[in-house]
Structure 1
Amino acid sequence: MAAATRKQLSKIQRQKADLRNSLWPGLEERRLWDYSSSDGWLNIPRAMPLLLQIMDRMSNGKPVSAVYLDLWCRTYNDSFIVASNPREMAFFSGFTGERAERTWASRIRILAELGFIDVKDGPNGAISYILIWNPYSVVKALQSAGRVDTKSYNALIQRMIEIRATDLQEPDSSAENAEEPQEAPPKKPSIRLRQFPKPNG
């Protein structure tokens, strides 16, 4: 936000900027990463650190968070990955050596079994295409099945409230169930009786 004026910044942003400048006087902002002037970035949930912890706790001692984060960073905000280079993906996930790809593939299977992703086969083998489901919804489903501890789930709900994430809110069905206004019945045509003159006498 180097080019933004103080009037454009929110109150919280101004307070943080003032605090940062007091702690690092003379700070050169060009040394900081600024998404607005850089390519190679994408959207990510603010609760991602906690989501990663939750999935690691469920993977039976075989951490999957590094694999999941690498998958997320390979999307273009479309939740879809073409796994064209599994060796590279294994390396970026922290696996090296002869068993790197095999270990990476085993973590992919764990993520799929937990429901965080879906996998389709194709020209690159059994793991050619990957779709990432909404992690909030996946954790909710796992919690309903008794697979997520209450402490972690409550912490996630609290964090979602703090960041105003509405992914788990039920859709408002009041509008859908509202009775449609009934049309007024058509008016009956008025009948005018013809008046005949009374006979004389």
Structure 2
Amino acid sequence: MNIKQKAARSTKVKKQKMALRDQVWGKVDESRLWDRTKNNGFTTLPRTFPLLAQIMDDLADKGKPVFNTYLALWCRVFDESFIEIKSSIQLATESGFASQRAVTTWNGRMSKLAELGFIEVESGPLGEFQYVLIYNPYILIKEYYDKGEVQKGKYLALFTRSQEVGAKDLE
């Protein structure tokens, strides 16, 4: 499908979605909705993120989920897949850690993400995790699946959903 065809399909799908929304809710106050084309402060997320989250947390130590930490990193990254962290306490808070041990807990989750290969980290003058490189999670999950470390049902759910949304990373 070329660019022109994609744009035409996108317009058609949007019209269909808007017609259905209007049918279900009637006139909606547009000022109360989030529109990524009009609002700042958004990021691009894979449509498979809920499935990626489950698998990543399964790969982590039991009772020590890593996905909220990964999500906080993802919400700071741009297309170069690189983040410079200037405040570990801020990232710990964004990851959901608020106790006196927030930074210690966050450090543990960052170490686990690095150990699992989802990120690569380098220390700098502001801390152990000042520089972070984020890798494509699909590639790593496929590698874990090929080694038998991801539940088949969850992997197939991820594969199926990735096919639905047009992601080719698992092929």
- Say yes or no: TM over 0.5: yes
Structure 1 residues 99-138: Cα deviation after superposition (integer angstroms, max 9, x where no partner): 0000000001111111111111111222111111000001
Structure 2 unaligned residues grouped into runs of 5+: 1-7
Q: Is the 8 A contact 2:69 2:95 kept in 1?
A: yes
- How many Å apart are 1:10 and its aligned residue? 3.1
Q: Is the 8 A contact 2:159 2:170 kept in 1?
A: no
Within a 5 Å distance, the mapping from 1:95-174 to structure 2 comes to 95-169=97-171
The 3-state SS of whatever aligns with 1:10 is helix
- TM-score normalised by the chain length of structure 2: 0.89
Larger Rg: 1
Supply the AA of the counterpart residue of 1:71: L
Q: Does 1:40 align with 2:35?
A: no
Structure 1 unaligned residues grouped into runs of 5+: 1-6, 170-201
Supply the AA of the counterpart residue of 1:153: Y
Q: Does 1:78 align with 2:80?
A: yes
Matched residues in 1 for 2:152 and 2:18: separation? Answer: 36
Matched residues in 2 for 1:22 and 1:162: separation? Answer: 25
Q: Does 1:29 align with 2:26?
A: no
The 3-state SS of whatever aligns with 1:36 is coil
Partner of 1:66: 68
Which structure is richer in relative contact order (CA contacts within 8 A, separation 6 or more)?
A: 2
Structure 1 residues 11-61: Cα deviation after superposition (integer angstroms, max 9, x where no partner): 332222111112211211121111111111122211111101111112122
- How many Å apart are 1:8 and its aligned residue? 8.6
Matched residues in 1 for 2:73 and 2:55: separation? Answer: 17
Structure 1 or 2: more helix by fraction: 2
Partner of 1:49: 50
Q: Is the 8 A contact 2:57 2:65 kept in 1?
A: yes
Partner of 1:193: none
The 3-state SS of whatever aligns with 2:108 is helix
